[in-house]
Amino acid sequence: MKFGINTFIFASPFTDKNIALFKDIKQMGFDGVEIALEKKEDLDYRGVLKALKENGLECCSICGAYGPGRDLRGTPEEQETSKQYIKDCIDACTELECDLFIGPHYSWVGRAELEPPEEKKSQWKTVVKNFKEVCEYASKKGVYIAVEPLNRFETDMINTCDRVLKMIDDVGSEMLKVHLDTFHMNIEEKSLPMAIIKAGEDLFHVHASENDRGAPGTGTVDWKGVKDALMKIGYSRWVVIESFTPEVKIIAKAASIWRETEKSGFDLARKGLSFLKGLFVV
């Protein structure tokens, strides 16, 4: 098992000026960095890759940032904007020598409404069509796209592992995979272990976050069940801490982080990694 940290815990946007953090991330004991790429102009990929390698780190994945305007089920203009952004992030993956682009790619985060049944079907078909296009691009680049279910307060479209598997089936591309986050699962899944087992070999990424978005191991998430299920399916990819603190104000507002769960992002990262290593490393 390899352990990574998402850059949202430290900065938004994550730019070239932030790559000095790689030294601290390595010293904390992480194996890799999940880079939240808000726009391609934010980073010099060659410089980032060089800094990662100098610090003995990998780019485990690129994390999508979906605000209003990036929406595969939105207006024609929003759909085109979102598809171009996804292609930009796939290009970033190839430049940073990673094979995975993760996130809730189907819609902007926070779009959550009670849609009429026919409108829901229409939106679903639109997203399937758009995923087929970007998956074809991803196939040429050798990059997988992992789809993340979000909780009901952040989206009305894909809340559970079952819905991601339905999307994968409808799109019909081997490049589309499952990305599960314990925070969202803790709200939406009847059983975290069963969701993991359902995903099986299609599970390509795991975000580790506590029920209050704090450090893994400090709350009510069924971590033993998560571990046992991951072991049962033979999961050997990345486990990445994605949590937030009020320090990064843009993300704190987007994720409704109104109070501290730890003193700082660094404290959260250290505590979470110590727990995960104790959980998984035998």
Kindly report, residue by residue over 56-94, the tens digit of the pLDDT. 999 999 999 999 999 999 999 999 999 999 999 999 999
Kindly report, residue by residue over 9-58, the tens digit of the pLDDT. 998 899 999 999 999 999 999 999 999 999 999 999 999 999 999 999 99
**Of residues 63, 181, 184, 24, the one with CA closest to residue 112:** 184
CA angle 93, 156, 132 (to 5 degrees): 40
Mean pLDDT of 236-257: 71
Domain boundaries in the chain?
2-280
The 10 Å Cβ neighbour count of residue 281 is 8
In the predicted model, is pLDDT for residue 253 greater than 60? no
Please give the CATH number for the structural domain made up of 2-280: 3.20.20.150
Three-state secondary structure string covering 19-64: CCHHHHHHHHCCCEEEEEECCHHHCCHHHHHHHHHHCCCEEEEEEE
pTM here is 0.95
Q: Which residue has the tokens 């727990």?
A: 275
